[in-house]
Amino acid sequence: MLLAKLRISSRHLALRHNISPFASSFRYFSEKKPHIIVALGGNALLKRGQPMTILNQRKNIAIGLSSLLPIIESSTITLVHGNGPQVGLLALQDAAYQSQIKSENSELDLDVLDAETEGMIGYLIEQELSAQLGSERGMVTVLSQIIVDQNDPAFKNPTKFIGPIYSEQEAKSLNSPVKRDGDYWRKVVPSPQPIKMLEHQQKCIRLLTDHDCVVICAGGGGIPVVEDVASGKIKGVNAVIDKDRAATMLGMTLNADGLLILTDVFGVATSFGTPRQRWIKCASPEQLNALMYNFPDGSMKPKVESCIAFVHQNGGWGAIGSLVEANKVFSGDAGTFVTNKYGPDHIEYYDNP
């Protein structure tokens, strides 16, 4: 009776996703699901220039997860999300409160704000995912502490965008480092390289993914911490880790099969925003590396670097594309696919995406 139920369930899943029922039934008994690291951009959860309300984030998450649902159903998923707009909003709120109470402590506690956004966004994703996926699949949000090097050069050269957009005139009046982000300006903070997740948290995530739970972790790149050599204690630092680099690190640690980076643009382009713009359909890590000068710091560059590192070191595949087209990006019909499959000289462009 149990075997019959498993076969029926397998056939139902196969027909739903246009897979041979026989092939699906065979894989159910012979192979594990592929393990995919999915990285959701903070700007995909909150569109550029959109009011930073919870209602808007709920709507965007619902739309994005609808596209992701077939992938989540057919794969083991570890989900990482960005937090640039959200952590920037919390920083503004914190600064306003400090000004109101006339506090002498003007230093931001970005590690604490990172932790707050991990809980907030993880909660919103879990609620929507549970509504779409059902309650049978396990899912959990893990507040993740990621070790960084306190001597990382990123602390002297902030590049990570946070918070809302500003006009050039507004940006000049801010008492904070700012950089151009497309047609607008945004605040920037240090973004050190992630080294590793704390060991006890790694063990928990391995256990959960081995049992096919959807794990939401390393949100906003994780909570940046450093090791105090003298005391052996862990302490937070003022930074925001790039979530794509954290997702890559996590994918290597967990030996994942693929890295799917979802954002608010179609894919990777050369000469982006100019008349010479061309969207890349598929490329080897070597070809993308040769085009790296096209990709700006703090936005597309870390995404491309993350895919290159994952494919080189893990032997899997990487893909970059729009959250609302997640299933098409996963199948290779949209976005940019990064693979060693076709050799080091391979690059293919879209005719007219």
Catalytic residues: 42-43, 160, 243, 303
Query: Around 6, how many Cα atoms within 13 Å sit in the side-chain half-sphere?
Result: 9
Q: What angle do CA 120, 186, 115 make, to 5 degrees?
A: 25
Q: Please work out, in degrees rounded to the nearest 5, the angle formed at the alpha carbon of residue 36 by the alpha carbons of 15 and 120.
A: 105
Strands 35-40 and 258-263: parallel
Provide CB contacts within 8 A for 203, sequence distance 6+.
Answer: none
Q: Distance (Å, rounded) from C-alpha 93 to C-alpha 95?
A: 5
Task: Give φ, ψ of 317 to 5 degrees.
Answer: -125, 160
DSSP code for 321: E
Sign (positive or negative) of CA dihedral 342, 331, 214, 5 = negative
Mention every residue, 6+ apart, whose C-beta is less than 8 A from residue 195.
146, 147, 148, 149, 249
- Would you call 259 helix, strand, or coil by DSSP? strand
Helix (H, G, I), strand (E, B) or coil at 112: helix
70, 17 contact by CB (below 8 A): yes
Closest CA to 257 of 32, 2, 90, 18: 32
**Residue 167 buriedness (CB in 10 A; 0-12 / 13-18 / 19+):** exposed
**What are 64's two structure tokens?**
């994005």
DSSP string computed for 216-235: EESGGG-EEEEE-TTT--EE
Q: Give dist(CA 242, CA 161) in Å, integer.
A: 10
